[in-house]
Chain A
Amino acid sequence: MSMINYASREINCKIVYYGPGLGGKTTNLEYIYQKVKPNTRGKLISLATETERTLFFDFLPVDLGTIRGFKTRFHLYTVPGQVYYNASRKLILKGVDGVVFVGDSQVERLDANIEAMHNLYENLAEYGYDLRQIPFVIQYNKRDLPNVSPVEELDQHLNPDRVPSYEGVATTGVGVFDTLKAVAKLVIKSLG
């Protein structure tokens, strides 16, 4: 639910990083936080457990500047990936404008990816949203590891509609900005 405030001339868009536990959602946000100019981003808020597993969400606001008179911002959120935290995961999807699914490319995580994707569809449906109608991209993360599934196989299981997908190594930043740019542009197009 992008909010366009014609009084203060602001547009805020919400982008949610979704996916299985330990897939690299928080690492994506941390990389973005480190690399964008400090004056264009706010604080990175992480509600995490003592072992740095996301408990509720991470949040990073990024300011695109003033476009045609409108101060335009993206609010980036991650959800907790662990199956156990579904109640809080669903809350973060409320009012989402764009979704990034961060998949874990390792062969043994295929089932976890599939389960997380089903969960994404289900949680969106409970708000009356249809993922096929929302700006959506996929990142296949951890491509640097030795035991990864081929992208074609991942596409077959996770990407039947062939939305844009990117190979990533979030720890070193590979694919992180490509993914973000793609979803951000889709969200902007949906406003225009």
Chain B
Amino acid sequence: MAPGGAPSWSFGPSDSERIEEILSNLLYESNARCALLVDRTGQLVTTVGEQLNFDSAAFASLTAADFSANDQLASLIGEDEFDSLFHQGRNESMYLADVGKRLILVVLFSQQTTLGLVRIKIKDAVIGLSKAFEDVFGRAQEEEGPVLERGFVDEAEDEIDRLFRE
């Protein structure tokens, strides 16, 4: 990305394994159904657990918007932030937690577990994830990520012409 714009970031297979292990442990220990990591711009980073039967791209964009709107509400009442949010449904509930101000951890859970247990286990997971992403973002500042294959831009432009037409 050009200077002055938003920075890009990237992570590879070893980052991914480390992150998924933390999320898998969280699900095992909390008995929750599914965990998603979403970045603050609304993009889904990864999911672990039960297969989602909803539109995950829409879910991620709404999650980021939800968190951002609540950050603003926090500042209006004199708080720096709300570092976690809880939405309770009749059968399904979700708990959202900030990870290093860059990502949001979302855990979906049913009545098979309790809010208290989920909350405790999420705290541990957030510590592990924060450390993992400190490494990812630290590296992003130090060095360029792997370069996209040559020809990517040309091929993508052809695809754009093909897709975006009447």
User: Could you say which residues of chain B place their CB within 8 Å of the CB of A59?
Assistant: 42, 58, 61-62
Q: A14-B42, A61-B57, A191-B148 are in contact. Are A3 and B8 (CB under 8 A)?
A: yes
- The interface bits of chain A over 5-20 (1 if a CB of B lies within 8 angstroms of the residue's CB, else 0) are 1111000101000000
- B73: min CB distance to chain A, Å: 10
Our count of residue pairs bridging A and B at CB distance below 8 angstroms stands at 164
Partner of A57, one of B15, B65, B164: B65
Stretch at the interface among B28-36, B118-126, B149-157: B149-157
On whether the beta carbons of B12 and A181 are closer than 8 Å, the reply is: no
Q: In the complex, which residues 125-178 of chain A have their Cβ closer than 8 Å to any Cβ of chain B?
A: 127, 129-130, 132-134, 173, 177
On whether the beta carbons of A6 and B146 are closer than 8 Å, the reply is: yes
| B114 interfacial by beta-carbon distance below 8 Å | no
| B13 interfacial by beta-carbon distance below 8 Å | yes
Q: A37-B163, A134-B4 are in contact. List 10 more A-B contacts (CB 8 A).
A: A1-B6, A1-B8, A3-B8, A6-B13, A45-B61, A56-B65, A57-B61, A59-B58, A129-B6, A190-B2
On whether the beta carbons of B163 and A62 are closer than 8 Å, the reply is: yes
Q: A2-B1, A5-B11 are in contact. Are A64 and B69 (CB under 8 A)?
A: no
Partner of A67, one of B41, B61, B155: B155
User: Could you say which residues of chain B place their CB within 8 Å of the CB of A133?
Assistant: 2-5
Q: A56-B69, A69-B149, A134-B5 are in contact. Are A7 and B15 (CB under 8 A)?
A: yes
User: Could you say which residues of chain A place their CB within 8 Å of the CB of B58?
Assistant: 42-43, 45, 59, 61
| B145 interfacial by beta-carbon distance below 8 Å | yes
- A80: min CB distance to chain B, Å: 12
Interface bracket on B: 35 or more
- 27 residue pairs from A and B, CB less than 8 Å apart: A5-B11, A6-B10, A6-B13, A6-B145, A7-B16, A8-B46, A14-B42, A32-B164, A42-B57, A42-B58, A59-B62, A61-B61, A65-B159, A67-B152, A67-B159, A72-B156, A75-B57, A91-B68, A95-B43, A129-B5, A130-B4, A133-B4, A134-B2, A134-B4, A134-B5, A188-B153, A191-B1
| B79 interfacial by beta-carbon distance below 8 Å | no
| A110 interfacial by beta-carbon distance below 8 Å | no
Nearest CB to that of A31 among chain B residues?
A: B166
Q: A35-B166, A75-B57, A180-B164 are in contact. Are A1 and B65 (CB under 8 A)?
A: no
- B144: min CB distance to chain A, Å: 11
On whether the beta carbons of A40 and B163 are closer than 8 Å, the reply is: yes
Q: How far is the CA of A7 from the CA of B9 in the complex (A)?
A: 13
- A104: min CB distance to chain B, Å: 23
Q: How far is the CA of A65 from the CA of B156 in the complex (A)?
A: 9
User: Could you say which residues of chain B place their CB within 8 Å of the CB of A129?
Assistant: 4-6
| A192 interfacial by beta-carbon distance below 8 Å | yes
- The interface bits of chain B over 127-166 (1 if a CB of A lies within 8 angstroms of the residue's CB, else 0) are 0000000000000000001101101110111011101111
| A36 interfacial by beta-carbon distance below 8 Å | yes
User: Could you say which residues of chain A place their CB within 8 Å of the CB of B98?
Assistant: none
- B72: min CB distance to chain A, Å: 6
On whether the beta carbons of B55 and A42 are closer than 8 Å, the reply is: yes
**Closest 10 A-B residue pairs measured CB to CB?**
A95-B41, A133-B4, A7-B16, A130-B4, A192-B153, A1-B6, A4-B10, A61-B57, A91-B68, A68-B149
